Amino acid sequence: MKNVIFIAPPAAGKGTISDYLVKNFNYVHLSTGDMLRSEVASGSLLGKEIDALISKGSLVSDELIIKLVESKLKNELFGKLFILDGFPRTLPQAEKLDEMLISMGVTNNVVIYLDVTLEEATKRAVGRIVCPKCSRSYNVYYKEASPLIEGICDDCGVALEKRSDDTEETFKKRYQTYLDSTSPIINYYKQKGILESINVMRTQNEVAKDILSVINDENVSVKRRKSD
Ligand code: AP5
Ligand code: MG
């Protein structure tokens, strides 16, 4: 199986698919959003600076995020099958990631673009509730994304919360930030020939099937030969 790098608009479903891959396969999940929210929750000075940026839908600096990811990749993720969720998000981050992966000799990667409309992503963000302990996402608008007991995490048994950046107003800004800073890297990976696109405007089970077909080495090569 391949290491997975997700490129997607906010609230497309990166975290949800990552949970599925972690629970069913041998993946280790690195979510930069979760890392930054932990720093915010710690109450540190850095956390306060990060919180100010996240709350207004802006990105934290490339320097900071690259430093955090580089340390995780080289220490905790090295030699493991991994998912990068939320990184890279800018062209400098994508270029730096290439450099890191090459220096680590990691070549078995697929970049997956999750295709979702603004309207659907907005509904997913506004209806999202998350577990403060394990970060699992649920949704009040979709039966298949509902917890078994209303307002409680199925896995941890703790009360679910809303994310501070999931208001409709902040979501508009997050989406604009995605268009301005992140969407250019779609072409960057297309040109490298390692981008797979998946329509996520379907049920989680349907999305999972498509994900499996692109992370499995054999299926990817069969798919490529067919489309040649
Ligand atoms: P981050 O946490 O990465 O936020 P995001 O990219 O906006 O993505 P989300 O976590 O909101 O959505 P998701 O795609 O994980 O969707 P989910 O699976 O939860 O980043 C937060 C902030 O940190 C950024 O705005 C930025 O400030 C900063 N940051 C992070 N990385 C950075 C970087 N590299 N550089 C600079 N700054 C950085 O699903 C969403 C909802 O939909 C859930 O309710 C879920 O249950 C539901 N759902 C999922 N799939 C389906 C389905 N198929 N059908 C119906 N509902 C579904
Ligand atoms: Mg997420």
The residue written with tokens 């403060």 in the block is 132
Q: What 3-state class would DSSP assign to 152?
A: strand
Is the sign of the CA dihedral 157, 159, 163, 164 positive or negative? negative
Is the sign of the CA dihedral 227, 192, 183, 180 positive or negative? negative
Atom index in ligand 1 nearest the CA of residue 177 equals 25
Among candidate residues 89, 96, 123, 124, the one labeled active-site is 89
Calculate how far, in angstroms, residue 224's C-alpha sits from the geometric centre of ligand 1. Answer: 29
**Among 104, 74, 107, 70, which residue's Cα sits nearest to residue 87?**
70
d(CA 126, CA 169): 10
Cis peptide before 88 (omega within 30 of 0): yes
What's at 163, amino acid-wise? Answer: R
What's at 157, amino acid-wise? Answer: G
162 is catalytic: no
Give the CB-side neighbour count of residue 205, counting CA atoms within 13 A. 2
Phi-psi region of 106 (alpha: psi -120 to 50; beta: other; left: phi over 0): beta
Atom 48, ligand 1: residue with shortest CA distance: 13
CB atoms within 10 A of CB 60: 18
The answer to whether the CB of 9 is under 6 A from ligand 1 is no
Q: What 3-state class would DSSP assign to 91?
A: helix
Please state, rounded to an integer, the average pLDDT across all residues of the chain: 93
Of the listed ligands, the closest to the CA of 84 is 1
d(CA 133, CA 196): 32
Instruction: Provide the pLDDT for residue 91.
Output: 98
Calculate how far, in angstroms, residue 217's C-alpha sits from the geometric centre of ligand 2. Answer: 25
The answer to whether the CB of 197 is under 6 A from ligand 1 is no
Tens of pLDDT along 157-197?
Answer: 999 999 999 999 999 999 999 999 999 999 999 999 999 99
Atom 54, ligand 1: residue with shortest CA distance: 203
Q: How many residues in the chain?
A: 228
Calculate how far, in angstroms, residue 107's C-alpha sits from the geometric centre of ligand 2. Answer: 25
Whether pTM exceeds 0.75: yes
128 is catalytic: yes
Cβ(119)–Cβ(91) below 8 Å: no
Calculate how far, in angstroms, residue 8's C-alpha sits from the geometric centre of ligand 1. Answer: 8
225 is catalytic: no
Q: What 3-state class would DSSP assign to 118?
A: helix
φ and ψ at 132, to 5 degrees? -70, -15
Question: Which range (23-32, 57-66, 219-228) has the least confidence?
Answer: 219-228
Per-residue tokens: 127: 């209806």
Phi-psi region of 159 (alpha: psi -120 to 50; beta: other; left: phi over 0): beta
Give the CB-side neighbour count of residue 186, counting CA atoms within 13 A. 16
Judge whether residue 41 has pLDDT over 80.
yes
Judge whether residue 219 has pLDDT over 60.
no
